[in-house]
């Protein structure tokens, strides 16, 4: 996924037999045995953390309510988190298979790549076969469906919209670059945000029912976080995405159009923060609390668009997302104290 695993701009090439890891890599790492659990861990991208911050955010949102026993809430959130882990594992596994087949991963993670970086693509590194990756992807999706079904069974509430959101995520999440290939048909940016929304709002609904306006604002902000660091990866990958037919905004709108898109989404984030307080959906002090994140978002835009440091802007975007989640959790804690 471009949003989760940035790489240099791609060059179109034909799929080839899996290459062996470089014998003398500049970034030495312990060798990974073919078919080992470590190879599958690399395939699952278990070091990706930013979407999983949804669970502590939901837990903080629930504090003022007190409608569910802590143990029951903890069980639901634990099952939902495990479902998120397996959903992302299946999604990135299929993404690796697609990238291997169209040659894009081979171009970015060839045998001259540093060992740690090459190991993140087990198909290219030769530590997993295509068949093993596909099987793992389906098992992960099935595990997600079972875990989220268990979360629904344990949950005290089952609003229809939460069940619909869970079903949609199970049915469409793995199709980021598989079957429907949503990210190839102009839906990548929406997908990155929607995945964040699906990791927050249904979990909240299972425990609290109808969301408050402040919960909806935080949900929207959470989904915009991964989008606003993923778009800078897309800038970096624009040429390669065009070569393999992936229609991201960066690939089809050109530099000026893409800059306008990023500016619009960044502005939307600020409007949500300030506007929610103005209309009474959020506490009056919410914009003040979120101001460090908004300031860093502006600096990110200048770094990526004005200065041309695309991957530096992406790294800053990850920092902004994590800071935003921490500040929203703080806001929920303050609101709980005041209630």
The per-residue pLDDT for range 157-193, each reduced to its tens digit, is 999 999 999 999 999 999 999 999 999 999 999 999 9
* Res 338: pLDDT: 87
Is the distance from CB of 176 to CB of 95 less than 8 angstroms?
yes
Query: Where does residue 192 fall: left (phi above 0), alpha (psi -120 to 50 degrees), or beta otherwise?
Result: alpha
Question: Which domains does the chain show, CATH number per domain?
Answer: 212-339 (1.20.120)
How many CB atoms sit inside 10 A of residue 271's CB?
Answer: 11
Q: Assign 78 to helix, strand or coil.
A: helix
Q: Assign 87 to helix, strand or coil.
A: helix
* Res 10: pLDDT: 33
Query: Is the pLDDT score of 331 beyond 90?
Result: yes
- Widest CA span in the chain: 61
Cα(269)–Cα(149) distance, rounded to whole angstroms? 32
Average pLDDT on 220-245 reads 93
Cα(19)–Cα(109) distance, rounded to whole angstroms? 10
Is the distance from CB of 89 to CB of 44 less than 8 angstroms?
yes
pLDDT digits (tens, 9 = 90+) for 15-71: 444 444 443 334 445 678 888 899 999 999 988 899 999 999 999 999 866 667 889
More confident residue, 125 or 275: 275
C-alpha dist (Å) from residue 31 to 36, 96, 126, 127: 11, 20, 11, 10
Cα(30)–Cα(12) distance, rounded to whole angstroms? 30
pLDDT band at 103 (very low <50, low <70, confident <90, very high): confident
How many CB atoms sit inside 10 A of residue 262's CB?
Answer: 24
* Res 17: pLDDT: 42
How many CB atoms sit inside 10 A of residue 234's CB?
Answer: 26
Q: What percent of the chain clears pLDDT 70, i.e. is strictly above it?
A: 87
* Res 11: pLDDT: 33
pTM over 0.95: no
Cα(249)–Cα(255) distance, rounded to whole angstroms? 9
How many CB atoms sit inside 10 A of residue 279's CB?
Answer: 10
Cα(241)–Cα(223) distance, rounded to whole angstroms? 23
* Res 119: pLDDT: 77
* Res 132: pLDDT: 97
pLDDT band at 12 (very low <50, low <70, confident <90, very high): very low
pLDDT band at 116 (very low <50, low <70, confident <90, very high): low
More confident residue, 319 or 236: 319
The radius of gyration of the chain's CA atoms, rounded to the nearest angstrom, is: 20
pLDDT digits (tens, 9 = 90+) for 47-63: 889 999 999 999 999 98
Q: Sign of torsion, CA 167 170 173 177?
A: negative
Which of 1-5, 45-49, 295-299, 306-310 has the weakest average pLDDT? Answer: 1-5
Q: What percent of the chain clears pLDDT 90, i.e. is strictly above it?
A: 76
C-alpha dist (Å) from residue 7 to 110, 206, 238, 240: 12, 37, 11, 10
C-alpha dist (Å) from residue 53 to 120, 171, 193, 326: 22, 22, 14, 9
* Res 264: pLDDT: 98
How many CB atoms sit inside 10 A of residue 260's CB?
Answer: 14
Mean per-residue pLDDT of the chain = 89
Cα(126)–Cα(163) distance, rounded to whole angstroms? 39
Q: Assign 173 to helix, strand or coil.
A: helix
Cα(188)–Cα(261) distance, rounded to whole angstroms? 13
pLDDT digits (tens, 9 = 90+) for 275-291: 999 999 999 999 999 99
Residue 223, CB-side half-sphere exposure with 13 Å CA sphere? 22
């Amino acid at each position: 996924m471009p949003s989760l695993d940035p790489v240099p701009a791609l060059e179109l090439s034909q799929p080839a037999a899996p290459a062996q890891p470089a014998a003398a890599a500049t970034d030495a790492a312990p060798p990974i045995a073919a078919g080992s659990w470590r190879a599958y861990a690399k395939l699952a991208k278990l070091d990706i953390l930013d979407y999983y911050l949804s669970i502590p955010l939901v837990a903080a949102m629930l504090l003022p309510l007190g409608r569910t026993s802590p143990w029951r809430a903890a069980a639901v959130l634990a099952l939902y988190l495990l479902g998120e882990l397996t959903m992302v594992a299946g999604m990135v596994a299929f993404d690796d298979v697609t990238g291997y087949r169209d040659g894009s991963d081979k171009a970015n993670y060839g045998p001259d790549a540093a060992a740690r970086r090459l190991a993140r693509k087990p198909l290219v590194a030769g530590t997993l076969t295509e068949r093993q990756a596909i099987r793992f992807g389906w098992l992960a999706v099935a595990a997600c469906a079972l875990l989220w079904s268990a979360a629904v069974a344990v949950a005290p509430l089952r609003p229809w919209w939460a069940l619909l959101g869970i079903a949609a995520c199970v049915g469409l999440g793995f199709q980021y670059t598989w079957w429907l290939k949503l990210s190839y048909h102009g839906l990548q940016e929406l997908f990155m945000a929607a995945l964040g929304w699906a990791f927050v709002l249904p979990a909240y609904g299972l425990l609290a029912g109808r969301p408050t306006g402040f919960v909806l604002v935080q949900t929207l902000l959470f989904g915009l976080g991964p989008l606003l660091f993923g778009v800078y990866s897309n800038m970096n990958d624009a040429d390669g995405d065009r070569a393999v037919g992936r229609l991201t905004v960066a690939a089809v709108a050109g530099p000026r159009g893409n800059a306008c898109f990023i500016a619009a989404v960044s502005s939307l984030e600020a409007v949500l923060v300030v506007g929610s307080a103005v209309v009474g959906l959020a506490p009056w002090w919410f914009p003040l609390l979120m101001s460090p994140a908004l300031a860093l978002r502006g600096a990110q835009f200048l770094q990526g668009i004005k200065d041309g440091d695309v991957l530096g802007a992406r790294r800053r975007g990850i920092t902004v997302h994590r800071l935003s989640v921490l500040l929203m959790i703080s806001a929920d804690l303050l609101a709980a104290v005041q209630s």
